[in-house]
């Protein structure tokens, strides 16, 4: 069954998964609400994510932090100076678009990380004009995407809604390190909101102004990047990667973890690439053919990322779309906070007597994007989504509603159940119905898994 992104958006609203926020007032671009089924699905994903990633190591912990942060946090992180996106505007009408996305779509080439001057050159080269009124476009400019806030009445204290959840574990690191008995690697996980004033939010929850991230920040001794104690367990595991050298053919290649070491990637990094692929393919049941790990080149990745792979899933109408990434951020973040806060982020590792600022490996996931992907793939492939209870209307209509949202098995309690202590189990795919006693039901359901 094929569908469009609009089909999915209509379905999500009709069935109570996702729909525009403040809709009775016309809605607000880039802001969405989750309905009763969407909330169940989102929370279920978050619980699965917690169990999986916090279970990787006994020294990984979850924290929950404020969404408004001190202005100096973003001075240290570089967001005040560098957190901007290129925008292109029409010289006559109200057309505004994120310039790299606009040029990429029109010129059919990847433009991530391009400067305004480079984008202007491509606009001239391809003779691009306003798609709405066909007028000339203004030169590309850069716009900072953070949301500033004035804290208190009559106060000059300024804060910001955090544009990423990552800075919260970074400013919490030293205290948490002390609390967790000064042991590395230390993982700090956080599932929370982030806010970006996107130039042109679109595509339902794929690009929003308020969104949820699930991230695991792993702080470690940089001298251990070449080793991971569990690497032998995944050395022959095949990862579906698209390296820089694969771009000409644009086809992912399955390479073992051991083979990726020969490409210059360290054990600690490759181990977590495997962990991520296993999560999407084995735990979330994303078809392997619709998954890939995309290596960014030096122009595309942030300057502080030594290694950077995007996690991508193929979606209807959108092709391979970024869900998150694995980023080796070196000591950029803790070093920046040490410089601005004047508080030392150095640790002394007793076993080696080494003193150093820990490096960070960031496992970053867009919760809303991954939930969108689950809906998109389930809608297309008719996978099971989430069980629910229904007692409204005829049994036939209830079966139809359950089929629409992907419920694999329906358990029907009827008037006879009150006397024979039995229920009817209906299979969505075959429509076969089986009468079972309540004592038989648990074992039967277990056999279906």
Which pLDDT tens digit goes with each residue over 213-240? 999 999 999 999 999 999 999 999 999 9
Please give the residue that has the higher pLDDT: either 378 or 296. 296
CA–CA gap between residue 232 and residue 190 (Å, rounded): 29
Is pLDDT at 129 greater than 80 in this prediction? yes
**Of 339-348, 361-370, 397-406, which range is least confident?**
397-406
Q: Report the pLDDT averaged over residues 352-372.
A: 97
- List, in order of start, the domains of the chain with CATH numbers: 5-79+150-381 (3.30.930.10), 84-144 (3.30.40.230), 395-447 (3.40.50.800)
Q: Report the pLDDT averaged over residues 393-409.
A: 78
Whole-model pTM: value is: 0.81
**Of 56-60, 335-339, 442-446, which range is least confident?**
442-446
CA–CA gap between residue 396 and residue 385 (Å, rounded): 20
pLDDT number for residue 387:
53
Neighbours of 287 (CB within 10 A): 13
pLDDT number for residue 168:
97
Closest to 375 (Cα-Cα) out of 389, 385, 365, 390: 385
CA–CA gap between residue 141 and residue 5 (Å, rounded): 30
CA–CA gap between residue 220 and residue 218 (Å, rounded): 6
Is pLDDT at 390 greater than 80 in this prediction? no
CA atoms in the 13 A half-sphere facing the CB of 104: 12
Q: Report the pLDDT averaged over residues 49-64.
A: 97
**Of 22-36, 259-273, 322-336, 389-403, which range is least confident?**
389-403
374 pLDDT band, cuts 50/70/90, is very high
What HEC string does the chain produce? CCCCHHHHHHHHHHCCCEEECCHHHCCCCCCEEECHHHHHHHHHHHHHHHHHHHCCCCCEEECCCCCEEEHHHHHHHCHHHHCEEEEEEECCCCCEEEHHHHHHHHHCCCCCCCCHHHHHHHHHHCCCCCCCCCCCECCCEEEECCEEEECCCCCCCEEEECCCCCHHHHHHHHHHHHHCCCCCCEEEEEEEEEECCCCCCECHHHECCEEEEEEEEEEECHHHCCCCCCHHHCCCCEEEEECHHHCCCCCCEEEEHHHHHCCCCCHHHHHHHHHHHHHHHHHCCCCHHHEEEEECCCCCCCCCCCEEEEEEEEECCCEEEEEEEEEEEECHHHHHHHHHHCCCCCEEECCCCEEECCEEEEEEEEHHHHHHHHHHHHHHHCCCCCCCCCCCCCHHHHHHHHHHCCCCEEEECCCCHHHHCEEEEEECCCCCEEEEECCCHHHHHHHCC
Phi, psi of 277 (to 5 degrees): -60, -40
CA–CA gap between residue 246 and residue 292 (Å, rounded): 12
CA–CA gap between residue 382 and residue 104 (Å, rounded): 32
Is pLDDT at 429 greater than 60 in this prediction? yes
Q: What percent of the chain has pLDDT over 90?
A: 73
pLDDT number for residue 237:
98
Is pLDDT at 449 greater than 70 in this prediction? no
**Of 135-144, 240-249, 354-363, which range is least confident?**
135-144
293 pLDDT band, cuts 50/70/90, is very high
- Pairing mode, if any, of strands 307-315 and 291-295? antiparallel
2 pLDDT band, cuts 50/70/90, is confident
pLDDT digits (tens, 9 = 90+) for 146-195: 999 988 887 778 899 999 999 999 999 999 999 999 999 999 999 999 99
Please give the residue that has the higher pLDDT: either 15 or 162. 162
Is pLDDT at 392 greater than 80 in this prediction? no
Provide Rg for the chain, Cα atoms.
Answer: 25
Would you call 420 exposed, middle or buried from its count of C-beta atoms within 10 A (0-12, 13-18, 19+)? exposed
Is pLDDT at 68 greater than 90 in this prediction? yes
Average pLDDT over the chain reads 92
Q: Report the pLDDT averaged over residues 253-260.
A: 98
pLDDT number for residue 157:
82
Instruction: Calculate the CA 242 to chain-centre distance.
Output: 19
pLDDT number for residue 379:
83
| Cβ–Cβ under 8 Å, residues 378 and 291 | no
Tokens read off for 411: 């358990």
What HEC string does 64-113 produce? CCCCEEEHHHHHHHCHHHHCEEEEEEECCCCCEEEHHHHHHHHHCCCCCC
| Cβ–Cβ under 8 Å, residues 291 and 277 | yes
381 pLDDT band, cuts 50/70/90, is very low
Q: What percent of the chain has pLDDT over 70?
A: 96
105 pLDDT band, cuts 50/70/90, is confident
Chain length of the chain: 449
């Amino acid at each position: 069954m094929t569908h469009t992104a609009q089909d999915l958006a209509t379905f999500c609203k009709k069935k109570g998964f996702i729909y525009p926020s403040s809709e009775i007032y016309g809605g607000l671009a880039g802001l969405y609400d989750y309905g009763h089924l969407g909330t169940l699905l989102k929370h279920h994903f978050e619980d699965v994510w917690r169990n999986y990633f916090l279970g990787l190591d006994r020294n990984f912990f979850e924290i929950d932090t404020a969404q408004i942060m001190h202005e100096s946090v973003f001075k240290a992180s570089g967001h005040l100076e560098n957190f901007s996106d290129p925008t292109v505007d029409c010289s006559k009408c109200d057309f505004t678009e994120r310039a790299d996305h606009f040029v990429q779509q029109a010129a059919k080439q990847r433009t991530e990380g391009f400067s305004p001057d480079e984008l202007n050159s491509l606009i001239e080269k391809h003779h691009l004009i306003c798609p709405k009124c066909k007028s000339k476009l203004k030169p590309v400019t850069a716009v900072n995407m953070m949301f500033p806030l004035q804290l208190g009445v009559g106060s000059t204290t300024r804060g910001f809604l955090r544009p990423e959840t990552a800075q919260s574990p970074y400013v919490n690191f030293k205290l948490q390190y002390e609390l967790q008995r000064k042991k590395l690697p230390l993982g700090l996980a956080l599932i929370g909101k982030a806010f970006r004033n996107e130039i042109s939010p679109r595509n339902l929850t794929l690009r929003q102004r308020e969104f949820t991230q699930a991230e695991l920040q792993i702080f470690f001794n940089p001298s251990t990047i070449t080793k991971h104690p569990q690497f032998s367990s995944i050395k022959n595991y095949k990862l579906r990667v698209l390296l820089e050298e694969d771009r000409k053919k644009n086809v992912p290649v399955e390479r073992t973890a051991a083979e990726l070491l020969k490409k210059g990637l360290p054990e600690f990094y490759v181990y977590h690439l495997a962990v991520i692929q296993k999560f999407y393919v084995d735990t979330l049941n994303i078809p392997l053919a619709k998954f890939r790990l995309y290596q960014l080149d030096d122009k595309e990745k942030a300057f502080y990322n030594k290694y950077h792979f995007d996690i991508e899933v193929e979606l209807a109408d959108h092709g391979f779309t970024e869900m998150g990434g694995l980023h080796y951020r070196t000591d950029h973040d803790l070093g920046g906070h040490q410089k601005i806060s004047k508080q030392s982020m150095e640790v002394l590792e007793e076993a080696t007597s080494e003193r150093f600022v820990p490096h960070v490996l960031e496992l970053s996931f867009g919760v809303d994007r991954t939930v969108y992907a689950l809906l998109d793939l389930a809608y297309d492939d008719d996978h099971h989504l989430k069980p629910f209870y229904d007692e409204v209307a005829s049994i036939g209509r209830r079966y139809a509603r359950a089929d629409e949202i992907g419920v694999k098995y329906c358990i029907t309690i009827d008037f006879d159940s009150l006397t024979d202590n039995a229920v009817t189990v209906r299979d969505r795919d075959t429509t076969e119905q089986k009468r079972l006693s309540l004592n038989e039901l648990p074992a039967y359901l277990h056999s279906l898994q």
